[in-house]
Amino acid sequence: MPFRSGFISIIGRPNVGKSTLLNVILGEKVSIVSSKPQTTRNRIRGVKNLEDCQIVFIDTPGIHRARGIFNEYMVKEAIRALSDVDGVVFMVEAGVPPGDAERMIMENLSGIKVPVILAINKIDRVKKEALLPLMDEYSGMFNFNTIVPISAINNDGVDILITAIREILPEGPRYFPEDIITDQPERFIVAEIIREKVFIFTRQEIPYAVAVVVDGFREDEEKNLIHIMATINVERDSQKGIIIGRGGQMLKRIGTSARKEIEGLLGARVYLELFVRVKKEWTKDKRALREFGYH
């Protein structure tokens, strides 16, 4: 059998389960997850190695009607991920009829010439008989290569999805070594883990105003210790107070949870120093967006 390989974009509206699916497929956490929409901000590559193929997945920010330059950046990142790929997995949610975001995505998909697989996620939340009308509705709106119902969080149907993806891959080489599961640098993943903990532990208003920058990353091989310094940037003084918390307890909680996960990622003890800085309205400042890696 010829070896197959290719790049597959995972797209969908915010909070539909794209990052959860990628992590389940890879068996490792490369994309942060939370219950809040727009958790993913950058295109993140994850590599799935099988005996006869290599699939390079591109996780993307949720596509939505964007307001403001920061949200526009995230949507453009997602749309850009549709170019120069070999296939697309378009994720939608079971029990939810097509909305503006889904129609917007299908408008963009109409201009590409690669196979598109529809993955209907969260099937664990609906009765099976509710899936057929939704499948019929989507089939009438776009010419999908195939439709696969899945529950990413329960790893249900994911193997069928991988088989469907394998069938649309062209013949090609391994683009990455077999032991690589992501092309993201360690600093990026560490910053994302810290940002995820802010998402999890703080109130609704905070996460979208947060950008994390790793300022220092120093390894002490003799002590098997990595010293990491990172800054959590927010837009207002009130947000800084919430993240630090009374007596520094919230910041300590964020740091402890992040440190444990980073130690598992890096396979070494970690000393994590966190700082909180106010960068006034950085989500509206193009220079600040570039400084934080959103450009």
63 is a domain residue: yes
CA-CA distance, 64 to 42, in Å (whole number)? 15
Whether 175 contacts 187, CB under 8 Å = no
Whether 140 contacts 6, CB under 8 Å = no
- Say what the pLDDT of residue 249 is: 95
Q: What is the CATH number of the domain that holds 98?
A: 3.40.50.300
| Structural domains in the chain (count) | 2
- Say what the pLDDT of residue 167 is: 95
Beta-carbon contacts of 60 under 8 Å, excluding residues fewer than 6 positions away, are 9, 10, 11, 18, 40, 43, 77, 78, 81
In a shared domain, residues 19 and 162: yes
> Is residue 35 over pLDDT 60?
no
In a shared domain, residues 18 and 160: yes
**Which residue in 179, 165, 160 sits closest to 27, CA to CA?**
179
Q: Which of 112, 139, 168 is the last residue of a domain?
A: 168
174 is a domain residue: no
In a shared domain, residues 34 and 138: yes
In a shared domain, residues 274 and 234: yes
Q: Domain containing 26: what range?
A: 4-168
pLDDT (mean) for 131-155: 95
> Is residue 139 over pLDDT 90?
yes
In a shared domain, residues 262 and 143: no
> Is residue 61 over pLDDT 80?
no
226 is a domain residue: yes
Q: Which of 106, 140, 168 is the last residue of a domain?
A: 168
> Is residue 34 over pLDDT 50?
no
pLDDT band per the 50, 70, 90 thresholds, residue 76: low
Q: What is the CATH number of the domain that holds 208?
A: 3.30.300.20
Confidence (pTM): 0.74
177 is a domain residue: no
In a shared domain, residues 150 and 263: no
**Which residue in 12, 11, 30 sits closest to 22, CA to CA?**
30
> Is residue 278 over pLDDT 90?
yes
What is the per-residue pLDDT across 246-255, written as a single tens digit (0 to 9) for each?
999 999 999 9
In a shared domain, residues 64 and 164: yes
Strand arrangement of the beta sheet that strand 116-121 belongs to: 44-49, 53-59, 4-11, 87-93, 116-121, 146-149
In a shared domain, residues 58 and 200: no
176 is a domain residue: no
219 is a domain residue: yes
In a shared domain, residues 85 and 133: yes
pLDDT (mean) for 149-170: 96
